Amino acid sequence: MEQLHLLSGHLLEVAFFSYLIGVILFTWAAARRRQPVFRNLAWGITALGWLAQLGFFILRWVYSGHAPVSNLFEFMTFFGMMMVLVLLVVYWFYPYPLLAILALIIAILIIGCAAMFPQEVAPLVPSLQSHWLYIHVTTAALGEAVLSISFFTGFLYILHETDQTKQHKSVWAIEGLFLILLSVIGYMLLAFIFRLSGYTAAVITAQDSVMYQLPPLFVPHDTVTTVLPVHISVSEWMRGENAAQQLNTVTLSIIAGVFLYIIIIALARKRIGAVLQPIVQKLPKDTLDDIGYRAVAIGFPIFTLGALIFAMIWAQQAWDRFWGWDPKEVWALITWLFYAAFLHIRMLRGWQGIRSAWLLVIGFCIIMFNLLAVNLLIVGLHAYA
């Protein structure tokens, strides 16, 4: 079993680096539009990476004895794998390298963030020992992956249509999205650097000792000893589990993101949106709008089955109730209602173009909030971490 564990880890590494190579090749394909060989090679390398990640998933299932979707590391890697699978299918019909680049970058960030969480295999608690575990979770992840494609097309549509020569809300909203993306990248870089250096910091409180993986700028209010002479004690009302650590991580991620953003705009001498817009404007905006709508039309029923119907069946078996107002259940319902409203507005009121694209971006933000904030910051039955 130990050999299977090591092999599965190596396969995940192969997948991760294959996706990175895929980003490079798709970028080259976007620059060399008249040479389809780069597009085909990029798709092939990405597909090989996906097969490697599928091997990781199967081997982890074998040696763990259950579907590897029971903690945040496993779910996020599976979600990233489903996102790449949907990308490969979509790209087969719509060979737009920019769409592939954006989707792969997000998938890489999701898988990279997953690696920051505990990766040990643990036995399932009784409520999770059901075949509905993989039916519910895998279907919900697939539905979210299909819905995510609509975000990529919506974001490209907004970038396509926004006038970068004027100072207005859309321009700064786009830059804000880039800043969030760079903050995630910054967090990964910081975590990788400090983990590679073996950095840990012990913060001793009145009741316990807390280990930090990043420099402890924020510490609990009852801290007795810390390694940094200058730090900020969080307010007493922030008593959630690891509240100070979470605030510390978010703050350092934002600082790293702002730092990366400043470097990029200093080198480019213009906003990131203004740099990318001439490339994005080569894409057919009507096709982008159509792909976004089709992605929601396909992903919505899959998400409905996985996140609501199958989840309710499992909840009835595990806890003798279909619905319990658990935070994850509530936000799954909010996600469902949002995309239901989108389809209603799109079909009955004819919302298309820029308004539809902004709704798709908001929908993806809800999915990400449900994935990260609800699991990490809100206590509930689905709090993986």
> What is the tens place of the pLDDT at every residue in 107-149?
998 888 887 777 777 777 766 677 777 888 899 999 999 999 9
> What is the tens place of the pLDDT at every residue in 260-290?
999 999 988 888 888 888 888 888 888 999 9
Residue 150, exposed/middle/buried by CB under 10 A (0-12, 13-18, 19+)?
buried
pTM for the full predicted model = 0.85
pLDDT, residue 18, reads: 94
β-bridge partners, 204: 209, 225
Rg (CA), the chain: 22
C-beta of residue 367 within 8 angstroms of C-beta of residue 335: yes
Task: Give the whole-angstrom CA distance, residue 26 versus residue 325.
Answer: 43
pLDDT, residue 15, reads: 93
- Number of neighbouring beta carbons within 10 Å of residue 298: 16
- The amino acid sitting at 43 is W
Q: Cα angle at 185 between 183 and 187, to 5 degrees? A: 70
Residue 2, exposed/middle/buried by CB under 10 A (0-12, 13-18, 19+)?
exposed
C-beta of residue 46 within 8 angstroms of C-beta of residue 84: yes
Strands 232-233, 218-219: pairing is parallel
C-beta of residue 359 within 8 angstroms of C-beta of residue 345: yes
C-beta of residue 233 within 8 angstroms of C-beta of residue 220: yes
Query: Any idea of the CA torsion for 337, 369, 127, 82, to the nearest 10 degrees?
Result: 90
C-beta of residue 107 within 8 angstroms of C-beta of residue 33: no
pLDDT, residue 78, reads: 93
Phi, psi of 220 (to 5 degrees): -60, 155
- 226-231 long-range contacts (CB < 8 A, ≥24 apart) are 226/201, 227/201, 227/202, 227/203, 228/201
Low-confidence ranges of the chain (pLDDT < 50): 384-385
Q: Output the six-digit token pair for 102.
A: 């954006």
